[in-house]
Every structure is written in structure tokens, then in C-alpha cells.
Chains A and B, each alone.
Chain A
Amino acid sequence: MTDVTGHADGPASPPAAHADADADADARPPLSWPARVLALAGWGVVVLGALGASDRIEHFAGPVPWRRVAMWFIGAALTHDLVIAPLVTLVAIAVGRLLPGLVRGPVAGGLIASGCLVAVSYPRLSGFGALPTNSSINPGNAARDLLVVLGVVWLTVAVTVLVRTVGPRIASRS
């Protein structure tokens, strides 16, 4: 059996409190008074944001189509839950199953960094915002720049793997 972070059956998980414990809401003590005040203040800010977004407040900022804002909130969460999280899960399972122990950590770290760097680069990479009449918007070669950065990341991964594999052998010979 494989869990969603890509580890097959091994030692039992520690008895530390798990973030996915079903019982956590049951075990949660009632809110303290400061926490209740904070929750109320938080809901106040949420309501302010909702009223503003739906054009019921004339101050602070202009109105926006609240249905579209809601659609983007829900869409962003669903994209994460239905696309990004399953994809990361599959990659994590593959890394856990296919790679030897000394390589898994650096490769997983490299994948995390690479994924974030690609995500950050995507708007520029896509060229959606480019303006032919304005050379200072998204200048340079976005693909080349990203490849350079990813090259550095994976060089670091390779060096880390090398140090982990060759280092102990050298130490054991001396």
C-alpha cells in the first residue's frame, strides 16, 4: 500500500499529532474569549471584503463582478485540489518507489524547487502580457532564463547526490 507522499509500507508513522487526524475537531477545546474576538474580527473583515466586492461599499476601491471573483476563488482551490495535488502525489509516489534512498531526497527537493520556479515563470513564459510596441514588458528570452535557473538547481541536486554517495566511501577508505 502506498500513501500519497509516496512511501510504501515501512515503519509505522510516529504517534505525533497528524494533520489529517479525523478527531482533531472533536478534541479541539472551545474557543477562548480572545480567540472568539479574533474570529469575529476576521469575519468582519471577510464581510467587508464581500460587500466591497459586490459593490455594496462605495469606499476603498471600485467594484468587481463578485460572481467572477467567487469563480476564481473556487477555481483556484479546485485547480489545486484536482490537478496540482494529484499530480504532485503521482510524482511523489514515483520518486518514492523508483529512486534509491540516497537520491530520493535531493531529487524530490529539486522537483519542489523546479515546480515553484516554473510556476513563477509561467506568466512571462506564456507571453500573454507581451506588448509588441513596448520592449520593456517581459524583456529577454524567458525560456533560456528559466533553463539557466533550472540548470543551476539540478546541478546542485547532482552535486548533493554525488557528495552523499561518494563522500561516505572516501571517508570509509581513509
Chain B
Amino acid sequence: MNLPTALRSIPRPAATGLRTESPLRTDRMAAGLGIALGVTFTICFVTGIISHLIQDPPSWFLWPTRPVNGYRITQGLHVATGMATIPLLLAKLWVVLPKLFRWPPARGVSDAASRVSDGILVGGGLFLVFSGTANLARWRPWGFGFTSGHFWSALLAYGALLVHVAYRGATTRRELRRAPAPGTTDPTEAPEVVASPSPARHALTRRGFITAVGLASAAVTVTTVGQTLPLLRRLNLLGPRRPEVGVQGLPVNQTADGAGVLDQVESDAAVADYRLTVTGRVETELELTLDDLRAMPQVTEELPIACVEGWSASARWSGVQVRELLARAGAPDDSEVLVVSLEETALYSTSMLNRLQAADELTLLALDIDGEPLHVDHGRPVRLIGANRPGVQQTKWVTRLEVR
């Protein structure tokens, strides 16, 4: 007995008593939702990979410094699209749910492989939207690092999506090209059904289902995207961050207390002892006090903090250009710089400036925000701020620049 025959011989379990037919559960509906999910998954995958490459760049990857708001857009799009995906994903799973009970479970090795892949896609897709949404509110119950877990899960799920497209692409194309033939129109779309009590007692018509899912997706987006989009800030009722809430009117992810640096930056005496050193591939190593930094030419720029968690907010930052410090130390023009925080042991205690960022006029060691000295939670006495960079790379409590 070969495998398909063996699989077919497995008896179907007893009927559940529930019919699974529904005007909503058509290949055409599954295809339409599949296209929408293909687009949203691809946007999330591409923007997520971009974010990952920026934070852990391989040697061939050189992230530019312009546009200034580039990362704000790509990561804002990543999070907003992920949130908008939730209604689409649940709707798609609803439409194809009966396939879960298909019998026999597989009709050969290829079919079994596609079902395994679909299982990875469903589990991975659900975990990605759950973990992404929960992470925005700092709730991380999965017990492993979010960044790595989200990255590897995305590879598993997106790979499974490609397999799914390979197997179902032809059906999708066929269904979406097919004009509804006479006699195949949805009986629930008939105007009299909508206008009077229906004998069919459908909860929703096909059009109603699509409209409801689309509106749910729009509602989720409109009530959360104000985390990053200033135009919709007042409608940001459900986003876990308010871009204007935080010390000095700007959100904080890591506080000085949480980072364990409060003793080194809070008191005036501690700040008087502060030193910034510029070391590494330089002609002259520098050691500067805060007064030394304030005595240097000050530059003021409006730049965003754009967080990997999808919120962003702009502020006017004043301080010293990194390239000015590198010039005084006699660093080569193509220098890369490791920016080191007083918070020595944490995951984001350092960040790299590539050669474009190190030489950029908008890359500052900021001393002030909106005309006031930095609050300890914003990196007092000195923090890094640059264009087109994730918030986690805008290193706070900077104590050393290592030129490479």
C-alpha cells in the first residue's frame, strides 16, 4: 500500500453535527484575504529585515543618513501594518477553518509537506502579531529575547508563506480572475435579503464580512497609528505610547534608574566628574568635561526619536557635532565610531556609527533638549542623537567614542 492509499484508508472521525458550508467560506474569499495578507506580511517582513540590518549590520550593509525620518517611516509602517494584519489574519483563518478538518489529513508527501508548512504559517503568523503587539506594551511572556525570537519566527513564517503561495497561487489567481458566473452569486447579497428578515439567517453577507473586516482593520490602525503619525495623534487612544508623554515631553524607554547609572549622572557633583573620552584610531586622544563640550560650537537640530516599538516623536536637540570631535582628535575621514554608554553591560549600552553617520552634520552628542539640559532619563549629561536611526541606537549617558 503506498502512502496516499494508506492515508485515504484512515477512517473519518464521527461527524460533529455542524455543517461547515457557508457563503463566506469560498476559495474566492480565501484568495482575496490571502492577497491582502501577502501584502501586509511582505511589508512587515521587508521593514523588519531593514530594522534588523540597521541594528546588526553585516559588512556589506551601509545604512544612509537620509531621509532624516526614514526609520520613523519604515518602523512606523512595520508596526502599523502588523496591527492592521490582526483582523485580516483572523478573518482568513475563519474562512479556511474547515480545511483543518480535511480528511484524510494529507494525500501524499507533497500535500503533507504543504500542510506542515501551513501549520508553521498559522502558528508563526499568530505568534508574530501577538508578540509584536504585546511587546509594544512591554509585556513579554514568551521567556526569550523579543528581537531574536521575532526575527527567527518571521523567517519561519515568511518561508512558510512562500511555500503556501507556491501551492495556492494558481488557485488564488483563478479565483480572483473568475467573474462570478450566473447562478454562483451570493444569495445573501440579494437586496431583498438585506432589506427584510432573511430566511437564511446568515450573520453576514460576503460583502458585509469584507466590509466589517476592512473597517476593523481601519479602526485598529486609526486608533494606534498616532503613536508615530502626528496627523492622527489625537486619535491614538489604543496605542500603548503617547509621543508627548514623558519627562521633557518625550517618552522614555529606559530610565537612568533602570539602567543603573543614576548615581553617575544625577547630582551636580557626579556631572562635574563626568568625562567624555575619544579614543581608538585617532592622532590625539581627547578627554573632555561637560564644560569643555559646552564651550565647543553648539548645533541645534530637530530630529526624531523613532523607536523600534513603532512610536516616534521629534524634539530640538542641541549639542556638539560628532564629526567636530573626530576632527579635533585627528580621526580619519572614513572613521566608524563605537559609542559607549555609562551603562556598560546592557544590550543597548553601545551603538555603532557607520562612516556616513559619523561624518554627518546631523549626528550630535546632545546636551540639551528643547533648550533645557537633558533630564537623567533622556541621557544627562550627554546622549547621541542622529538622523534616520532607531531609538535604541541613540545611546544615552555617553562616556566614550571609540574610533575604528
**CB within 8 Å of B: which residues of A?**
1-8, 10-11, 13-22, 24-26, 28-29, 31-32, 35-36, 38-39, 41-50, 52-53, 59-65, 68-69, 72-74, 76-77, 79-81, 84-85, 88-89, 92, 95-97, 100-102, 104-105, 108-109, 112-113, 115-117, 119-121, 123-124, 126, 128-131, 133-140, 145-146, 148-149, 153, 164, 168
Interface: B362 (CB within 8 A): no
B132: min CB distance to chain A, Å: 10
Residues of A within 8 A of B133 (CB): 119-120, 123
Question: Contacts A11-B200, A101-B196, A124-B240 known; A109 to B211 CB distance under 8 Å?
Answer: yes
Overall SS of chain B's interface: helix
Question: Contacts A42-B166, A76-B126 known; A116 to B204 CB distance under 8 Å?
Answer: no
Q: Once the chains bind, are B87 and A53 in contact (CB under 8 Å)?
A: no
CA of A123 to CA of B217, assembled, Å: 18
Q: Once the chains bind, are A42 and B161 in contact (CB under 8 Å)?
A: yes
Residues of A within 8 A of B215 (CB): 109, 113
Name the residue on A nearest B257 (C-beta).
A133
Name the residue on A nearest B144 (C-beta).
A64
CA of A25 to CA of B376, assembled, Å: 62
- For the A-B complex with A68-B143, A105-B194 known, give 5 more contacts whose Cβ atoms are closer than 8 Å: A43-B159, A46-B120, A65-B143, A74-B123, A131-B258
Overall SS of chain A's interface: helix
Across the interface, B139 reaches (CB within 8 A) one of A8, A15, A36, A129, namely: A129
Question: Contacts A26-B107, A29-B170 known; A49 to B159 CB distance under 8 Å?
Answer: yes
Q: Once the chains bind, are B144 and A65 in contact (CB under 8 Å)?
A: yes
Q: Once the chains bind, are A145 and B237 in contact (CB under 8 Å)?
A: yes
Q: Once the chains bind, are A108 and B166 in contact (CB under 8 Å)?
A: no
A29: min CB distance to chain B, Å: 7
| Interface flags, B185-196, vs A, CB<8A=1, else 0 | 111000001111
Question: Contacts A35-B167, A84-B90 known; A61 to B147 CB distance under 8 Å?
Answer: yes
Q: Once the chains bind, are B117 and A61 in contact (CB under 8 Å)?
A: no
CA of A142 to CA of B125, assembled, Å: 26
Q: Once the chains bind, are A61 and B122 in contact (CB under 8 Å)?
A: no
Interface: B316 (CB within 8 A): no
CA of A76 to CA of B100, assembled, Å: 15
CA of A149 to CA of B193, assembled, Å: 30
Residues of A within 8 A of B119 (CB): 77
